[in-house]
C-alpha cells in the first residue's frame, strides 16, 4: 500500500486566535491550544489510528508545533525539520489580513506573496520537499506544522499550484490525511476537528 501523509496543525495561539500572520515568531500555545493537543493525541491513540505505531513523525521546530506534537504523545518519536516551518511572512509578520489590506488593497497571499519574506516559489519548493519525502517513505508519515505550509503541502500533494491552498482551510489542532484513490493522489480527509467537540 502506498504511504499516506497525516497533517496535524498546531493548537490555538494568541495570534492564530486574533488572525495575525504567525510565521517565524515563536508564539506559545494558549491553554485552549494545549487542551486541543491533548484531545488530538487521544484521537490519534484510538481506532482507527491506534497510536500509529509504525508511523514516522516529523515536526516543525517552532514551539507551537513541537508542543502540540509532545502533548499529543508523539514527541519522543518526532524529528524536527526546518522544512515544516511556517511561511516567512516578512514585513507582514504579526499583521491581520485586514491590516495588510489597509496598506495593500486587494492583497491575496496565495497570488501576491509577501514583501521581505518567502516567495511563492520558495514555499512551493518546501512543500514539494515534504511531498517527495512522504511519497518516498516505506510507511505512513505524520507531520506537526502550521496552517499555510500544511495547506501548501495539500495542494502540491494533489499536483496543483500553491494557489489552490486558498480553497482548503485548516483549523488549529485539526488532523487531515492525504493518500491515494485509483492510483492518483487524493484527499482522504481534511480539517477533521471532531475530537475538539
Q: Which residues are known to be catalytic?
A: 10, 86
Q: How many CA atoms lie within 13 A of 188 on its CB side?
A: 13
Q: Which three cell numbers stand for residue 178?
A: 492525504
DSSP helix/strand/coil, 75: helix
Please give the backbone phi and psi of residue 45, each rounded to the nearest 5 degrees, phi first: -100, 0
Q: Which three cell numbers stand for residue 22?
A: 504567525
Q: Which residues pair with 13 in a beta bridge?
A: 29
CB neighbours of residue 68 within 10 Å: 30
The distance of Cα 22 from the centroid of its chain, to the nearest Å, equals 12
- Cell 517513505, located at residue: 137
Amino acid at each position: 500500500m502506498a504511504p499516506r501523509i497525516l497533517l496535524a496543525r498546531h493548537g490555538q495561539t494568541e495570534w492564530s486566535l486574533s488572525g495575525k500572520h504567525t510565521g517565524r515568531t515563536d508564539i506559545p500555545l494558549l491553554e485552549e491550544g494545549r487542551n486541543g493537543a491533548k484531545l488530538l493525541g487521544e484521537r490519534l491513540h484510538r481506532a482507527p489510528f491506534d497510536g500509529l505505531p509504525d508511523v514516522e513523525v516529523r515536526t516543525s521546530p517552532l514551539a507551537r508545533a513541537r508542543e502540540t506534537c509532545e502533548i499529543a504523545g508523539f514527541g519522543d518519536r518526532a524529528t524536527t525539520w526546518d522544512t515544516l516551518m511556517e511561511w516567512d511572512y516578512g514585513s507582514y509578520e504579526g499583521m491581520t489580513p485586514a491590516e495588510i489590506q489597509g496598506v495593500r488593497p486587494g492583497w491575496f497571499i496565495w497570488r501576491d506573496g509577501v514583501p521581505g519574506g518567502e516567495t511563492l516559489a520558495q514555499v512551493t519548493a518546501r512543500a514539494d520537499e515534504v511531498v517527495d519525502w512522504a511519497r518516498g517513505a516505506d510507511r505512513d508519515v505524520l507531520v506537526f506544522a502550521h496552517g499555510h505550509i500544511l495547506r501548501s503541502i495539500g495542494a502540491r500533494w494533489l499536483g496543483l499550484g500553491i494557489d489552490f491552498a486558498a480553497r482548503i482551510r485548516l483549523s488549529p489542532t485539526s488532523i487531515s490525511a492525504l493518500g491515494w484513490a485509483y492510483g492518483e493522489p487524493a484527499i482522504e480527509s481534511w480539517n477533521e476537528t471532531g475530537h475538539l467537540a
